[in-house]
Amino acid sequence: MKTIFDGGLRASAYLCSVNILSKSRLVSVVSAIAFLAACSSPNKPIAEQGAPSPATAAEMAVMARHDSLMAKMDQLYSLKAKINAAKAPASGPYLRGLAAADAAMMDWMHQYRAPDSTATPSARLAYFQQQQQVLAGVSRQFRATIDSATLFIQQLPAAPASAATPSK
Amino acid sequence: MLKRLFLLPALAAALVTACTSPDTAVRLPILGERDVRPRADGGPADTVFARVPAFRLTNQAGEVITNQTFAGKAYIADFFFATCPGICPKMQGELLKVYAKYGKDPRLAFLSHTIDPAHDSIPVLRDYADRLGMGAARNWHFATTGAKGEPAAKDSVFLLARAYYTAAEPDKQAPGGFAHNGTFALVDDQGHIRGLYDSLNPKEVERLMAELPILLAEMDTRKPAVARQ
């Protein structure tokens, strides 16, 4: 049975050579997390963990970009709340832009299927590189829509103070 | 002078007692904004601490859960989504560790909010709980703001995440965003946030496990009649 942890632990499973699926579910999860902490502690310099393979490095880069974009989701929703609160005419395109950026990110996540460990290294590398390109497009969309919405809000006569504060 | 000499040991004893008494030695801080309200009778002003805002969610069993569901209990809250390829699996794995140690304690519950309500329907949440091995757990709620396809479901959960986390750090944006920063919030039986813990840092999870009994002990002092485990 596929577990939730397949995706998140894949890179660590490579590094640690642990097959987390071969044990009972809960024990395997907890054990795998313990191994994760030991093998790929975020506090541990990557040099001490050994250089990741090109495919693993590419996967990590995809995850880093994903996390970076997810951090901006708050910004999308904060801007949306401010625009809605302002009840300004002509806000439609900005709200639609923010919604489209949100949808692009969620669509990416819903279609993302990292190849499992049986895939060849070159196939894995190609997949992650291709996903990185898709995310680069989402990233551009985020930047454009956030910049436009921010500018729109700044140009409003007097934004209500009660609206949520935008993220940095 | 002689009187002062007599007082010194008494003072020292009082200090030692105060510092070692199990009930009063350590209390977790109440995080978040506080409002000082003057009293009409001129007495000392009341300090009112921020609480988790009112919420109405639906869990993986299709049950409605609100703040009242957690009345009299502490709970650990986090935010995730079922298709999250990044930090969520690690975060939930860390919460499983906490569950393994404290999950049977009736004074504690767990609340994981999905930030993808459009995708994470009740069946998806149920499947997620099953795959986590928590399908039969009654005190770990995987919950959505959008069980009925509410159009503002995602707005609601992002506002809720912001309320949980900015309550403690109003001027600081978390590096991973409020709704996707891998933070556990420890909420007491009165709806106050008593601790925030970075689930991606093992030391922080250890701190949560060390501080949880302190909160539970404090709650016991408010409910002396409740049987302790």
Domain-located, residue B168: yes
Residues A23 and A59 in one domain: no
pLDDT at A87: 87
DSSP state of B179: T
CATH number, residue B215 = 3.40.30.10
pLDDT in tens, B28-65: 999 877 778 888 888 888 888 889 999 999 999 999 99
**Phi and psi dihedrals of B119, rounded to 5?**
-95, -40
Same domain, A109 and A31: no
Q: Cβ separation of B131 and A106 shorter than 8 Å? A: no
> A23 and A73 share a domain?
no
Interface test with B, best of A74, A75, A105 (most B CBs within 10 A): A74
Cβ-contact A59, A67 below 8 angstroms: no
Cα B23 to Cα B207, B217, B218, B220, B228: the distances in Å are 19, 7, 7, 10, 15
Q: Are residues A43 and A115 in the same domain?
A: no
Q: Evaluate whether ipTM surpasses 0.85.
A: no
Say whether both A36 and A109 belong to one domain: no
Residue B35 forms part of a structural domain: no
Q: Is A158 found in the same domain as A110?
A: yes
Residues A80, A144, single domain; the answer is yes
Task: Please give the single-letter amino acid code of residue B117.
Answer: P
Rounded Cα–Cα distance for residues B137 and B134 (Å):
5
Give contacts of B88 with chain A, Cβ < 8 Å.
4, 8
pLDDT in tens, B134-169: 988 999 999 999 999 898 999 999 989 988 876 555
For residue B15, being part of any structural domain is answered with no
Cβ neighbours of B132 in A, within 8 Å:
3-4, 29
Q: Give the nearest chain B residue to A3 (CA atoms).
A: B131
The CA distance from B16 to B1, in Å, is 23
Predicted pLDDT at B224: 61
Tens-binned pLDDT, residue by residue, of chain A (168 aa)? 444 444 433 333 322 332 333 334 433 433 333 333 333 333 444 445 578 899 999 999 999 999 889 888 888 999 999 999 988 889 999 999 999 999 999 999 999 999 988 999 999 999 999 999 999 999 999 999 999 999 999 988 765 555 444 443
Chain B: which residues have CB within 8 Å of chain A?
A: 81-90, 92-94, 96-97, 100, 115-116, 118-119, 128, 131-133, 154-155, 158-159, 161-162, 173-181, 200-202
pLDDT number for residue B86: 77
Number of folded domains that form chain A: 2
Inter-residue contact B186 to B171 (CB < 8 Å): no
Distance, in Å, from the CA atom of A75 to the CA atom of A116, rounded to the nearest integer, reads 33
Interface-testing mutation among A15, A28, A70, with chain B (most B C-beta atoms within 10 A): A70
Residue B13 lies in a domain: no
Q: Domain boundary at A51, A74, A93, which?
A: A51
Q: What is the mean pLDDT of residues B88-103?
A: 92
- The total number of structural domains in chain B stands at 1
Q: Is the same domain home to A46 and A79?
A: no
Q: What angle do CA A36, A39, A43 make, to 5 degrees?
A: 90
> Phi and psi (nearest 5°) for B36?
-95, 115
Domain for residue B149, yes or no?
yes
Domain hosting A43: range is: 1-51
Inside any domain, residue B40: no
pLDDT interval class at B11 (50, 70, 90): very low
The amino acid occupying position A153 is I
Task: Please tell me whether residues A42 and A124 are part of one structural domain.
Answer: no
Q: Are residues A80 and A141 in the same domain?
A: yes
Distance from CA of B172 to the nearest CA of A (A): 9
Structural domain includes residue B4:
no
* A141 and A93 co-located in one domain: yes
In terms of pLDDT, which residue wins out, B38 or B13?
B38
Q: What is the pLDDT of residue A36?
A: 36
Q: Is residue B7 part of a domain?
A: no
**Domain span at residue B66?**
56-222
* pLDDT band, very low/low/confident/very high, at B3 (cuts 50, 70, 90): very low
Can you state the percent helix, strand and coil of chain B, rounding each to 5? 35, 20, 45
Do residue A64 and residue A17 come from a single domain?
A: no
Confidence at residue B212, expressed as pLDDT on a 0 to 100 scale = 97
pLDDT reported for residue A119: 92
- Least confident stretch, B15-29, B159-173, B182-196: B15-29
Q: Is B114 helix (H, G, I), strand (E, B) or coil?
A: strand
